[in-house]
Chains A and B, each alone.
Chain A
Amino acid sequence: MTPTQIKPSLPTLTLNVNGKLHSFMLGEGLHEVSPSHTLAYTLRERLGLTGTKISCDEGACGCCTVLMDGKAVLSCILLTVECGEKEIVTIEGLEDPETGELDPLQQSFIDHTAFQCGFCTPGIIMSAKALLVENPSPTRDEVKEALSGNFCRCISNYHVLDAVIAAARKGGGE
């Protein structure tokens, strides 16, 4: 390339995940974050937050769903280096940080046995959480629409619908 005055991204990066700040050096080293790392990779391999699952790894299945500034997004198609100013919440961030009590939505999934193998469950719960934050009393169709980007190969879908509706009735969106 020809010389340009424009500088690459800053050499450090601070991520806000589940209310905690994590600082990284940008680079190729073991503890560093490379510009080509996805948020899903960083969450799992750098922060050990393995609740976020990587399945298709190209934005089609919804397993890696996390909240970014309150919206459900796919962490496998986000570059970590572009998430610096954002508030990220993963499945690990839903429990009460002091008592360790599960979010009512998580409890509702347990009460309704809303999973079989469970691999897609964290993504589904995060999509449902985003819905309940925005719309605390959704209709069944609104839940279906909000979860339309999450695939479950065990067909837990019907139990999931019941779990989300029940959590909404109990005020799980708060």
Chain B
Amino acid sequence: MKNFAHYNARSVAEATHLLAAYEGKAKLNAGGSDLIGVLKDRILPDYPEAVINIKTIPGLNTIEENDGGINIGALTKLVDIINSPLIKKNCPVLKETARTVASPQIRNVATLGGNLCQDTRCWYYRYPDGIGGMIKCFRKGGKTCHAVPGENQYHAIMGAKKCFAVCPSDTAVALTALGAVLTVAGTKGTRTLPVEEFYTPLGNMLALDEMITSVNIPKPDPAAEQAFLKFTLRKPIDFAIVSVASVITLDQGICADARIILGAVAPTPVRAHKAEEYLKGKKLSDDTAAEAAMLATVGANPLSKNIYKLEIVKTLVKRVINSGSCLS
């Protein structure tokens, strides 16, 4: 791996000031499970001059209950989310989601903030520099998305315009379903941002000097049924081909509220608004689930080799509505 300057940040202020000082040429490192691969393969047009270790910042790895809900520090490891009684009781969908991420060894180091901020897995974007040279695609300031005329079986089926890579984060899908809000710190102070608005077609909303410090999940209705399903080719160490998270509140069999989020189908997690609206006030049944599943795919515009993902979306949406609880 090519060398870089290395810093151990002792506070959020130190980390954000270093980010600002390096003007975009520094990367934050938490678990490292995404970044180290990015650096080894030299997929970025600008190799970072500095890596800033943020694991040395105290106080960002706690899971706490407060008046507003559940607060999870950005450096909380996925294994700790899986083992947290507080998460299991209040947001089982997040526990189930974290369980499906990568492998046990990676979940022992990977953090929630890192899972949200990981770079896309598009194989053109990730093409290693060492094998014939880095591919300059739209996401790296180039002019084309090579997936459109090329191999696009795992790419976006909706919501993409110029870059067709999908958002690889599983936890983003569950957190969007839960209506979670991020706290983001920069050199000019902190701000909050719903996970739903965090992703952009070419990345995320973080400015050059910003980092996620915590995730706040408003306390879900105890009666709400939460579910997450992820379709992969292999069970461990695989990214979703399609995932669906749902939080559905039932009142005597009638759907009072529904949030259905599709993952790995677009550059951002996608709220299936039409399906959500349709379900409200309906009695849940196989027929309403099938109709909602159909509505979840409205507006999709698949590429040449990924129309099959639409069928997986429909099946998973039907299953999360019917299952009514966390299955995996």
Interface residues of A (CB under 8 A from B): 1-4, 6-9, 26, 28, 34-38, 57-60, 62, 65, 68, 71-74, 76-79, 81-82, 127, 145-146, 148-150
B103–A78 CB distance below 8 A: no
**B5 interface residue per 8 A CB criterion:** yes
Within 8 A of A (CB), among B7-44: 7-9, 14, 17-18, 21-23, 25, 29, 32-33, 36-37, 39-41
**B241 interface residue per 8 A CB criterion:** no
Interface residues of B (CB under 8 A from A): 1-9, 14, 17-18, 21-23, 25, 29, 32-33, 36-37, 39-41, 49-51, 53, 55, 79, 102-106, 108-109, 235-237
B4–A2 CB distance below 8 A: no
- Which chain A residues lie closer than 8 Å to B23 at the CB level? 1-2
Determine how close the nearest CB of chain A comes to the CB of B138; give it in whole angstroms: 24
B7–A74 CB distance below 8 A: no
Query: When A and B form their complex, what is the total count of cross-chain residue pairs whose Cβ atoms lie within 8 Å?
Result: 110
In the complex formed, the residue of B with least CB distance to A149 is B103
- Which chain B residues lie closer than 8 Å to A65 at the CB level? 105
A81 to B37, CA, bound (A): 17
A-B contacts, 23 listed (Cβ < 8 Å): A1-B22, A1-B49, A2-B21, A2-B23, A3-B21, A6-B7, A6-B17, A28-B3, A35-B51, A57-B40, A58-B36, A58-B41, A62-B103, A65-B105, A72-B104, A72-B105, A74-B106, A77-B109, A79-B32, A127-B105, A148-B103, A148-B104, A150-B103
B108–A73 CB distance below 8 A: yes
- Which chain A residues lie closer than 8 Å to B3 at the CB level? 28, 34-36
A79–B37 CB distance below 8 A: no
- Which chain B residues lie closer than 8 Å to A77 at the CB level? 32-33, 36-37, 106, 109
A78–B17 CB distance below 8 A: no
Q: Tell me whether A149 and B104 are in contact in the complex, defined as CB-CB below 8 angstroms, given that A78-B32, A79-B6, A82-B53 are known contacts.
A: yes
A1–B6 CB distance below 8 A: no
B36–A59 CB distance below 8 A: yes
Besides A7-B7, A72-B108, A149-B102, 20 other CB < 8 A contacts? Answer: A4-B21, A6-B14, A9-B6, A35-B6, A37-B1, A59-B37, A59-B105, A60-B237, A65-B105, A68-B108, A73-B109, A74-B105, A77-B32, A77-B37, A77-B106, A79-B53, A145-B104, A148-B236, A149-B106, A149-B237
A9–B7 CB distance below 8 A: yes
Q: Which 5 A-B pairs have the closest CB atoms?
A: A149-B103, A35-B6, A148-B236, A4-B21, A36-B1
